[in-house]
Structure 1
Amino acid sequence: MSNPVPADAAPAVSPARLSLQRAIWRWHFYAGLLSVPFMVLLAVTGSIYLFKDEINTTIFAHRTVVADPGTPALAPSVLAANALAAVPGSTLVSFIDPVTRASSAVVTARDAAGRHLVYLDPYTGTVLDTLRSDREPMWLVRKIHSLELFGTIANRLIEAVGGFAIILVMTGIYLWWPRGQSGGVVTLRGSPARRVWWRDLHAVTGAVAGVLILVLAASGLPWSGFWGRTLNSVATQAGVGYPAQLWDDVPLSTLPTEAVLSKPGWTVENAPVPMSTAAAPAEPIGLDRAVAVARGLGITPGFEMAVPGDETGVYTAAVYPHDLSKQRLIHIDQYSARPLVDLSFPDYGAVGKAIEFGINVHMGQEWGLANQLLMLAACLAIILASVSALVMWWKRRPAGKVGVPPYPADPRVYRALWAVAVALGLAFPITGLAILAMVGFDLLVIRAVPPLRRAFA
């Protein structure tokens, strides 16, 4: 929502360039006006989620941290039995191995009310806490971050906002780009009482943090419902996602991996879950042996072990730690204990590896605290740019009007912008539809209805 020509430092520009600047400014304004509330929401919830581990081990230490007595942990089946007793009438869904000797074990149990997380001391079997899985604080933060908590349509809005964030950075850099002025490039002019100070704060913040904002937007889009799933499907079919050939020689169910795990990795979330085959008479191996098999294969501590849902189901062990090289997914036959599929990060295709790396950076997990602080800085920059944009707009707008930037004098400049809109629409369909709606409303409604044209002037 930057003003391309600050009043106190306005170099002479040609009519054609002025028309282009006005057209880009108008797009920047509309994209910002529509996106600001969502951008702030994303930045606030993202800042919180960056420190989920620290929050869980401090604020919620009563259920996540235990004393290490120096003795072996109880068998997973014993812990699972204690958890099921704490949720009467429930069935076992999964067991989460303690990440460290000072971490609790977590059992997911399901009853008629839904899924419950039961936190246990792995050495004594004591139940530390029980709560509904959809009320776990970090789960709520993540679902609010994506707006999945509010349904599919809301989630698609966030996908559109991700595309708008890219538009905002690109158009913002164009409007910020120095054209003879000395101020407002890396310094702030005037004081907070003046609009130009807020304009410079908005422009400089966006220019400095633009690359980080692009990284956040680009790495967040693979999680989106439509674009992310489409990319996942295309990557798999092209052989650059997960190696589908690993599933060629095993019987497959119709369940995707995301249906059995609480936190599947992006690359494998749509991969089919294999089926167990029993050679009669056969008895299930049980949770303890399944966990032992996964540990024997060298899986990293902290893995989730999903139990079979029926007689053809499998035990599924998965872990997605901060260290990408230790990502692992193992499907185990519930009768023979044979690993049907054993997939690790080095097995991923080029796109799968790139997306997982981007997600790791997005979540602040790739380089420890430095990564967290870098992403936090990007989130704070988004909030600062959003707030300064709103203040700048409020100071600039005429009384009683929206104060949309003027139409370009030369309408031919829209041809180039339409080409950009088509390209973005092809790359990000949900954003493309939002752009069409935005431009259509601007040209066909606001421009054609005099009262609206005056209000938006």
Structure 2
Amino acid sequence: MTDITVPTSSRAASAAGTTSSLYRAVWRWHFYAGLFALPFLIVLAVTGALYLFRDEIDGLIHADLKRVEAQATAQTAPSAMVAAALNAYPGTAAKYLPPASPDASAEVVVKTSAGSKLSVFVNPYDGRVLGDIPDKGTVIGIVRQIHSLAFFGPIANGLIEIAAGWAILLVATGIYLWWPRGQAGGVVTVRGTPKRRMWWRDVHAVTGLFAGFFILFLAVTGMPWSIVWGKYVNEWANGSNFGYPAGVRVAVPMSDEHLAHTGPTTWSLEQARMPESGLASAGGGPIGLDAAVAVFDRLGLAKGYAIALPGGPTGVYSGSVYPDDLSQQRVVHLDQYSGKPLIDMSFADYGPLGKGLEWGINVHMGQEYGLANQLVMLAVCAAIVLMSVSAGVMWWKRRPRGSFGVPPAPSDRRVLRGVVGILAVGGIVFPLVGASLLVMLALDTALTRRKA
């Protein structure tokens, strides 16, 4: 057998070719990820930045409905405020929100005969109806629906899951493209002026370096709200001791109603089943809203809690509060006849998975660490917009006239298959992302064959 020695120069050329092919493959898929995800990321960043300051914005815009003059006199009974709301807006009361502070109004959610829901605001000192807004129709309520694309229907909402997955791909491929390869600048500094493409490239890369971790965090912690992955993970979390609060597993009659159907709740409790009230004892009847509010106050629910009213003879009073302080999250269901707590769940009752998910969601929403949390997330949102704009400018300056400017395919197709194989792992974890990956791969194959 004859030994064949490959010259050093040939081995070096082969290694350089492989490196070049890998770079091109990663760059090509970074381009594809940006092509799909950047429009969504801009929408998510702008609406997310607004939502960080939801209390401040809604409090300012809807001050005439949400704010009243604090008085030293006693407040009107909750049942009287609900009656006043129903007198002004006939229908069925579905929810009551006691004033969260002395200068806050009370809110009654009314389901009208037409099937729509209205949030009716009442002055708690004199019982005067201040006005109404469609349920979830505040400025920030609409911003939140746009943020999740729920405003545009369930199909559009599914695109958020895909965009989040591609955002993860953008960060991973972006770090590879940023990785220093002997260049003197563009690693943590910006070269040139805005007239040059290099300046925009460096702005994009350096901003991505510092914001990449936070973008990954936002993408991952935003996934629980997704229409496919989030739904199934939620069901799994609520079916194991790692996520579902142990307090639910008590000997009380359970209905087929879920907590999410009564109003906003924590992600990990959306699939929690509602308990049922027992039948009224002889001569007894429902305790009424006033007594239920007194029980919730005595149990120590944090200010700002909401009460979902019983939906029928076996319904319950469900008090829930999700303040900035995770330790004060709580859900209490009362038997509507005896006033006895059927279930009392708090953050301490969550399993490790539930606690971790709720912490991530709280930080994602900018409410876990106060103003500092808001400002950091605001900076990340600004970074996402800057990176998206700089990517667009880079593409515009680089693309050949009359061409879409897709980065060249690698000369070694085996490298491309390896990169796609790695991406497929993420596609298995996130099914909608995997489906979009297959579509993009088919388009890429067609584009490559057309040029061949």
Report the TM-score when normalising by structure 2: 0.94
Which residue of the partner structure matches residue 259 of structure 1?
Answer: 261
> In terms of mean alpha carbon deviation, does 294-303 or 56-65 score higher?
56-65
Structure 2 unaligned spans of 5+: 1-13
Which amino acid is 2:38 matched to?
V
CA–CA distance in structure 2, aligned partners of residues 40 and 440 of structure 1: 26
Structure-2 separation of matches of 1:392 and 1:132: 43
Q: Following TM superposition, by how much is the alpha carbon of 1:134 offset from its aligned partner in structure 2, in angstroms?
A: 4.2
Q: Aligned partners of 1:279, 1:190: CA distance in 2, in Å?
A: 78
Equivalence for 1:104: 105
Task: Assess if the C-alpha contact under 8 Å between 2:161 and 2:223 holds in 1.
Answer: yes
- CA RMSD across the alignment: 1.5
TM alignment of 1:28-47, pairs within 5 A: 28-47=30-49
Alpha-carbon distance between aligned partners in 1 of 2:55 and 2:96, rounded to the nearest angstrom: 19
Distance 1:19 1:171 in 2: 14
Alpha-carbon separation, structure 2, partners of 1:427 and 1:102:
48
Mapping for residues 49-448 of structure 1, pairs under 5 Å? 49-87=51-89, 89-113=90-114, 114-244=116-246, 246-261=248-263, 263-281=264-282, 282-443=284-445, 445-448=446-449
Q: Deviations over 1:106-159 (max 9, x none)?
A: 110011330000111111212222121142221111111000111111011011
How far apart are residue 358 of structure 1 and its match? 0.6
Structure 2 residue identity aligned to 1:212: F
- 1:236–1:244 Cα contact (<8 Å) kept: no
Is the 2:333–2:344 contact (alpha carbons within 8 Å) kept by the matching residues of 1?
Answer: yes
Q: Compare 99-108 and 12-21 and name the one that shifted more.
A: 12-21
Which amino acid is 2:290 matched to?
Answer: D
**What's the % identity of the aligned pairs?**
50
Q: Which has the higher mean CA deviation after the structures are superposed, 128-137 or 237-246?
A: 237-246
State the alpha-carbon separation in 2 of the partners of residues 116 and 237 from structure 1.
34
CA separation in 2, counterparts of 1:104 and 1:182?
60
Q: Do the aligned partners of residues 134 and 325 (structure 1) sit closer, same or farther apart at CA in structure 2, a change above 3 Å counting?
A: closer
CA offset at residue 349 of structure 1? 0.4
Shift of 1:236: 2.2
Which one has the largest radius of gyration? 2
Counterparts of 2:272 and 2:246, CA distance in 1: 8
- Once the two structures are TM-superposed, the CA of residue 245 in structure 1 deviates from its matched residue by 5.7
Report the secondary structure of 2:413's partner residue. coil
Cα distance in 2 for partners of 1:362, 1:256 equals 25
| Structure 1 Cα separation of the partners of residues 21 and 150 of structure 2 | 40
Counterpart residue type for residue 123 of structure 1: Y
- 1 CA distance for matches of 2:49 and 2:26? 30
Instruction: Tell me the secondary structure at the aligned position of residue 267 of structure 1.
Output: helix
> How much has 1:246 moved relative to structure 2?
2.5
Alignment partners' CA distance in 2, 1:327 and 1:124? 31
Structure 1: gaps of 5 or more residues = 1-11
Counterpart of 2:20 in structure 1 is: 18
Whichever residue aligns with residue 347 of structure 2, its letter is F
Letter in 2 for 1:140: I
Quote the Cα distance in structure 1 between the aligned partners of 2:151 and 2:221.
21
SS for the counterpart of 2:334 is: strand
Distance 1:84 1:13, change over 3 A: farther
- Partner of 1:412, secondary structure, is helix
**Distance (whole Å) between structure 1 residues aligned to residue 396 and residue 190 of structure 2:** 19
Work out the CA distance in 2 between the residues paired with 1:349 and 1:152.
Answer: 30
Q: CA offsets per residue over residues 27-52 of structure 1, 9 Å max, x none?
A: 10001011111100000100110000
Cα deviation, 1:265-305, whole Å, max 9, x if unaligned, reads 11111100111111443311111111111111111111110
What's the secondary structure of 1:284's corresponding residue?
Answer: coil
TM-score, with length taken from structure 1? 0.93
Which deviations, in whole Å up to 9, do the C-alpha atoms of 1:70-127 show, x marking residues without a partner?
Answer: 222211101111111121x211010012211111111100113300001111112122
Q: Aligned to 1:383, what secondary structure does the other structure show?
A: helix
Which amino acid is 2:113 matched to?
A
Provide the rounded CA distance (Å) in 2 between the counterparts of 1:344 and 1:363: 20
Q: Distance in 2 between matches of 1:190 and 1:286?
A: 71
Q: Is the 8 A contact 2:187 2:202 kept in 1?
A: yes
The residue identity in structure 2 corresponding to 1:109 is V
Query: Secondary structure of the residue that 2:268 maps to in structure 1?
Result: coil
Task: Tell me how far apart the structure 1 counterparts of residues 388 and 55 of structure 2 sit (CA, whole Å).
Answer: 28
Worse overlay, 216-225 or 246-255: 246-255
Q: Distance in 1 between matches of 2:293 and 2:231?
A: 31
SS for the counterpart of 1:241 is: coil
The range that moved more, 233-242 or 75-84, is: 233-242
**Inter-partner Cα distance in structure 2 for 1:144 and 1:423:** 30
- Which deviates further from its counterpart, 213-222 or 315-324? 213-222
Q: Is the 8 A contact 2:81 2:122 kept in 1?
A: yes
TM superposition shift of 1:13: 7.6
